[in-house]
Amino acid sequence: MLKPQSRDKLKTVSTATVATALFKRGFRTQMIQGVRPLAPMTESMVGQAFTLRYIPAREDLNKLDVFRDRSHPQRKAIEDCPPGHVMVMDSRKDPRAASAGGILITRLMKRGAAGIVTDGGFRDSEEIGKLGFPAYHARPSAPTNLTLHHAIDINVPIACGDAPVFPGDVILGDNDGVIVIPAHLADEIADEAFEMTAYEDFVTEQVQAGRGIFGLYPATDPKSLEEFAVWRKKNGR
């Protein structure tokens, strides 16, 4: 379970900073490739992963009447995703048919989810973009998911945009994209990224004032850390 204080810290850091913290630990493929928010993000998306996996559709199985079955994995996933979680869909990086549309994503929002991500596409993309709900995809896609996607598994390990996603991993999304934090590292990464962000804000202020980066970024000059400590105390960081 993601600690509330870790969630709050992750809300204040960037995917870029988290990517660096993960890189230090040897993780290089945690950024979901090829996805973008449907509307500019004003606040970061943070939540644990709840997954849905699609496989290629088979024509004799993917008829419109399959949605009469309340256990259909796509529909069931929308109704089962816990509040505060991010639904992450493995659509095999294929946006030729929609992973979901406006009605399902509105339902997910109303149930209290933290966001939704697919490495495919969403239909009703303009409508979704106006919801004020974090949603990431590769591009708009009008055809129903049944055209090419067969929903097969709920809350199992998946790949999304070449990143491994395990149920319960922590998903962070901002205007740069979406990154996956392994669940067992979430609190540790939140703490470190929060500290890194404070120093990066100090550095940004210094560079904007005309200072050079040598010894400052990274902080190889002890004087930079001394100045940062003074800045941090002054700014309550």
Extents of the domains making up the chain:
28-181, 189-235
**Residue 113 pLDDT class (50, 70, 90 cuts):** very high
Q: State the pTM of this model.
A: 0.95
**Residue 108 pLDDT class (50, 70, 90 cuts):** very high
CB atoms within 10 A of CB 150: 17
What pLDDT is attached to residue 81? Answer: 98
What are the two backbone dihedrals, phi and then psi, of residue 47, each rounded to the nearest 5 degrees?
180, 165
- On average, the pLDDT of the chain sits at 97
> Taking residues 13-28, what's their average pLDDT?
98
For residue 194, give the H/E element and its range. Answer: helix 186-208
Q: Does domain 28-181 have CATH number 3.10.20.520?
A: no
pLDDT in tens, 148-180: 999 999 999 999 999 999 999 999 999 999 999
Annotate 129-159 with DSSP letters as a single string. HTTTS-EEESEE--S-GGGTEEEEEESS-EE
What pLDDT is attached to residue 71? Answer: 86
What pLDDT is attached to residue 62? Answer: 84
**Residue 219 pLDDT class (50, 70, 90 cuts):** very high
pLDDT in tens, 90-100: 999 999 999 99
Beta carbons of 99 and 146 less than 8 angstroms apart: no
What pLDDT is attached to residue 9? Answer: 98
What are the two backbone dihedrals, phi and then psi, of residue 168, each rounded to the nearest 5 degrees?
95, -15
> Taking residues 31-40, what's their average pLDDT?
98
For residue 57, give Cα distances in angstroms to 12, 94, 95, 152, 204. 40, 12, 13, 10, 49
What's the DSSP call for residue 118? E
At residue 73, does pLDDT exceed 90? yes
